[in-house]
Amino acid sequence: MKENKMPARRGRVEPVDTTGVQIPYHFRCPVSLELMSDPVTVSTGQTYDRSSIESWIATGNTTCPVTRAPLPDFTLIPNHTLRRLIQDWCVANRSSGVQRIPTPKQPADPSLVRSLLSQASSPSNPSHNRVTALRRLRALARDSDKNRSLLASPSLPLRDVMTSILFSDPDSSPPELKNESLAILAMFPLSESECAAISDDFTRTSYLTGLLFHPSIEVRVNSAAVIEAVVAGTRSLEIRAQIIDSGDVFEGIVGILSYPIPYPRALKVGIKALFALCLVKQHRHKAIAAGAASALIDRLAEFEKCDAERALATIELLCRIPAGCAAFGGHALTVPLLVKIILKVSDRATEYAAGALLALCSALERLQREAVKAGVLTQLLLLVQSDCTERAKRKAQMLLKLLRDSWPEDSVPNSDDFRCSDVVPY
């Protein structure tokens, strides 16, 4: 494999940082030429910034970037002495705008992870020691993506151990131990076989549903995250339906979305779970009965972009059933919010909002007047002439045709935008 080439260096001139301060040459990574924040030494004795040398190795290079000598292994040893010197230099030049680099957290050691898993899974180990081991594993997973990748590797039985603890007999695993295992399980994707091991067992799905009503919001959110992973990872619609039938799952998810205290993760996990559950058409009426319409509209302005798209997609799905149209149509803010979102959040959000408005206005004539009053005409005319998706434009055109009898008399013939659009008034 052809190896990447390092940038040529002419002499040992110390580069000047953007702050105007000369950075000592040996503080800069030979690969990136930037100030090192996590210096590590390879087997040849050369030191690099961790992110740079990891990228170098990840692209298939097997030699030391500086010496070109083959690397017999890819072990990276932290250079604590150099890192402390760099930190001291940063502090000394703080008045010039140089910020001190933080002390990096070291990657998890596989042998430590195996030891912690062994401690956590051993029934003979005192429960407080098992809980401590799980908390250490959870802390490692939180530290970095690299740690999570290590913990999720096939060579480590992390998810098997967590699943075993979570669904074990209550007498052998106290609630605190189960809650910690649930928190860790919620941090990782599940394979299809792992999803099947949960979804095929009614006792397990019922247990997860029961946790949606736990006094701790963190336990409730973690349970929702695992339920969402299982539903999304299960291909069979029949098995998905069985999961939904295992208890008041919609009530639990809607309760998380409606949690009164601001908790961003509750919104993110809640909408992912609700969307996954609403993909099963025959059970959408249960979401409406659980109060999903009010929860979605009341929280719609609080979602981040990706979650807002998912929320709008869920609203459009629920508006495809009569009960959904009635519930969303009964909320005073539904139509104004959907009209306002058009062309504001993203192309996908626009498409879903237009689809939901089309379903609502087709079902309830009074909502046509509400939409026109909210300014939907201008929004739709702009939409059909925008660079939005073709599906969004088609929905907009259908909605314009539907609403033509509700427009004020002077709005249609006098609209230059309308004349330029593809919509024919008559």
**Please, which residues have CB within 8 angstroms of residue 206's CB and are 6 or more apart in sequence?**
246, 247
Q: For the sheet with 47-49, list strands across it.
A: 47-49, 39-41, 77-78
DSSP string, 132-150: HHHHHHHHHHHH-HHHHHH
pLDDT (0 to 100) of residue 414 = 43
- Measured between alpha carbons, how far is residue 319 from residues 240, 284, 354 in Å? 21, 10, 12
pLDDT (0 to 100) of residue 406 = 66
CA-CA-CA-CA torsion sign (280, 305, 151, 221): negative
Distance CA 226, CA 212 (A): 11
Distance CA 294, CA 258 (A): 9
What are the phi and psi torsion angles at 28 (to 5°)?
A: -100, 145
pLDDT at 183 over 50: yes
What are the phi and psi torsion angles at 70 (to 5°)?
A: -60, 145
pLDDT (0 to 100) of residue 328 = 95
**Please, which residues have CB within 8 angstroms of residue 80's CB and are 6 or more apart in sequence?**
none
> What whole-number percentage of the chain has pLDDT above 70?
89
pLDDT (0 to 100) of residue 218 = 95
Say how many C-beta atoms besides its own lie within 10 A of residue 73's C-beta. Answer: 7
Q: Give the lowest-confidence range in 110-114, 308-312, 400-404.
A: 400-404
List, for residues 365-424, the tens digit of each pLDDT value: 899 888 888 888 888 888 888 888 888 889 989 998 888 876 665 554 344 444 444 443
Distance CA 392, CA 380 (A): 10
**Please, which residues have CB within 8 angstroms of residue 126's CB and are 6 or more apart in sequence?**
none
Residue 25 DSSP label: G
Contact 344, 331 (CB under 8 A): no
List, for residues 332-377, the tens digit of each pLDDT value: 999 999 999 998 888 899 999 999 999 999 998 899 888 888 888 8
pLDDT (0 to 100) of residue 159 = 92
pLDDT (0 to 100) of residue 49 = 93
pLDDT (0 to 100) of residue 405 = 72
The whole-model pTM stands at 0.76
- Pick the closest to residue 400 from 374, 420, 378, 416 (CA basis): 378
Q: Sorting pLDDT into bands at 50, 70 and 90, what band is 280?
A: confident
Separate counts of helices (H) and strands (E) for the chain? 23, 3
Q: Which amino acid is at 396?
A: A
pLDDT (0 to 100) of residue 73 = 86
Q: Which runs of E-coded beta strand occur in 148-262?
A: none
**Please, which residues have CB within 8 angstroms of residue 322's CB and are 6 or more apart in sequence?**
363
Q: Sorting pLDDT into bands at 50, 70 and 90, what band is 191?
A: confident
Distance CA 157, CA 225 (A): 20
The enclosing H or E element of 239 equals helix 237-244
pLDDT (0 to 100) of residue 95 = 84
Distance CA 115, CA 294 (A): 48
Contact 41, 75 (CB under 8 A): no
Distance CA 419, CA 426 (A): 12
Own/partner pairs for 244-249, CB < 8 Å, 24+ apart?
244/277, 244/280, 244/283, 244/286, 246/202, 246/205, 246/206, 246/208, 246/209, 247/205, 247/206, 247/209, 247/210, 248/209, 248/212, 248/213, 248/290, 249/209, 249/212, 249/277
Contact 82, 101 (CB under 8 A): no
- Measured between alpha carbons, how far is residue 130 from residues 82, 125, 179 in Å? 37, 7, 12
Contact 115, 50 (CB under 8 A): no
Distance CA 324, CA 317 (A): 9
